[in-house]
Amino acid sequence: MTDGTPARKPADIVLTDTKDTTCAVITFPEAADQHAGPPPTVMIDCGNSLGSQETAEKMRATVRRALAGRTRIDHVFLTHPDSSHCNALIPVTRGLEIGQVSCGGDLRQYAGLQGGTELHRWLVGNNARTFPPSFRGLGAPVVSFGGMRLYVLAANSTGNPGSSDADANGCVLLLVYGSLRIVFLGDVPGAVAAGLQAEAFPADVADGLTGHPLAPQGQLLVLGHPSADGAHGWPWGPEGNHRYTLVQEHTPFASEGGPATGHASAAVLLSGPSAETASAAEAAEKDRFTFTSVDL
């Protein structure tokens, strides 16, 4: 563990979260201590709504570029059993060494997806783990290296991992590096996100928020699915003291004579009041991340 020590270079985050694909590859920053070993790599989801081999091959090439010569993904997180979040996992990771695999929901639900028999076999073969009911993990990061921390903020929020409401059971991840934070919501409904907000900041607690990973200070980038019930609540709605900036949005589009296709997603940047008076040192933290968003 090298959490809290200065990093020698920024972290790299490559997103393929377009209207058709959902995948993030994170390479943690190198630690100042050269004996700490290579920085870990993390993949969050790996699927495409088209289900096409051509799109999967483009995703595979993007992931290889993101790994920059590395042949191992240390942690794979599948937010929930939805084909558009995991149907490209096997072809994209073929030939790579895989470390810990963690999944929202119940493993048997992945077997029920189109082509899920092979995916379920892959998950079992890689000793994939699931989370307990109503899991909350803000107390301890699942990955910590070079000053960056990754938390499983919530999983299986219905209290029943086998619930048919796979979206609500989705795994929500939080990446923290200095005062900058990124939340990967997956497809969880806004009601779940609002519940996390209420749990993190109870209405009867007036102080104690300083230093909290989700405290309304600095900047918070939220990536995920802006469902209808979340349109007027945290983190999508204009409540609280945040300033909201819609960075990117994808909505399903209707083909001629056919149903809407694609996968709804959005990136929203929230800036707290302290962002206006951030010191030069805090402003420099913007260089801690190298973002690449790949439109396939």
> What's the confidence (pLDDT) of residue 3?
47
Q: What is the CATH number of the domain that holds 178?
A: 3.60.15
Per-residue pLDDT tens digits of the chain, which is 296 residues long: 344 445 556 788 898 867 788 999 999 998 888 788 889 999 999 999 888 899 999 999 999 999 999 999 999 999 999 999 999 999 999 999 999 999 999 999 999 998 899 999 999 999 999 999 999 998 899 999 988 999 999 999 999 999 999 999 999 999 988 777 888 988 988 778 777 777 766 655 554 455 566 665 567 788 887 655 555 555 555 555 566 677 777 777 666 666 666 777 777 777 765 555 555 445 455 556 666 766 65
Residue 4 included in any domain:
no
The length of the chain, given as a count of residues: 296
Residue 29 included in any domain:
yes
> What's the confidence (pLDDT) of residue 30?
87
Query: How far, rounded to the nearest angstrom, does the alpha carbon of residue 79 sit from its chain's CA centroid?
Result: 8
Residue 1 included in any domain:
no
DSSP string, 120-160: HHHHHHTT-EE--TTEE-TTS-SEEETTEEEEEEEE-TTS-
> In this structure, what token pair is assigned to residue 75?
């942690």
Nearest to 86 by CA among 101, 72, 73, 97: 101
State if pTM tops 0.85.
yes
Residue 267 included in any domain:
yes
**3-state SS assignment for residue 271:** strand
Tell me how many domains the chain contains.
Answer: 1
Residue 6 included in any domain:
no
Residue 179 included in any domain:
yes
Q: How many Å apart are CA 25 and CA 12, to the nearest integer?
A: 8
Residue 195 included in any domain:
yes
User: Domain range for residue 260?
Assistant: 11-293
Rounded to a whole number of angstroms, the distance between the first and last alpha carbons of the chain is 35
> What's the confidence (pLDDT) of residue 264?
77
Residue 109 included in any domain:
yes
